[in-house]
Amino acid sequence: MDKKDSELQKKFHKIAKEAEPKPNLLKNCIMAFLFGGAICTIGQVFFNLYTNFGFDKDEVSILVSSTMIFLGAFLTGLGVYDKLANYAGAGTVVPITGFANSIVSPAIEFKSEGYVFGVGAKMFTIAGPVLVYGISSSVLVGIVYYIVKYVM
C-alpha cells in the first residue's frame, strides 16, 4: 500500500471508532447480575422442589441440570431466550441455560441445510470450543490434583 491508502485507512478507523456506540457498562453489569441471578434462583427453586420430593442430593443435581438445560433449549426454540439475551446481556450466557442456547440456536439456524450438514455440523460451532477447552482444562486440573495429592 502506498502512503495515501494508509492515511485513508487511518481516517476511516478514526471515524468508525468515533461513530461506534459506547456501551453503558454499569447498566450492562446490573442487568447481567439481575438476570443471571434470576436464572440461578429458578435453578434453586427446582433444587428445593426436587429435594422436597425425596430425591437424594446426587439425583437432585442431575434433575436440576437437566431441567435447566431443557428450559434453555425450549425457550430458545420458541424464540424467547434470544429476546431475553438481547435485553439481559451476559446474565443469560453464563448459566447452564446459556449453554443450551448456544447449541440449539445454530441447530435451528442451519436446519434448512439438512440434518447432517446443517444441524449436525453446525450445532457445536459456538459450544464446541467451550467443550474442548473445558474438558482439556478439567483433565489438566485432574492431573495436577493427582500429582499434588498422591505423588507429593
CA atoms within 13 A on the CB side of 31: 15
Helix (H) or strand (E) holding 1: none
Give residue-wise pLDDT tens across range 22-69.
878 888 889 889 998 999 999 999 999 999 999 999 999 999 999 999
Q: What pLDDT, on the 0 to 100 scale, is given for residue 110?
A: 78
Does residue 129 carry a pLDDT above 90?
no
- pLDDT of the residue at 143: 95
Domain ranges of the chain: 25-151
pLDDT the model gives residue 17: 80
- Global confidence as pTM: 0.68
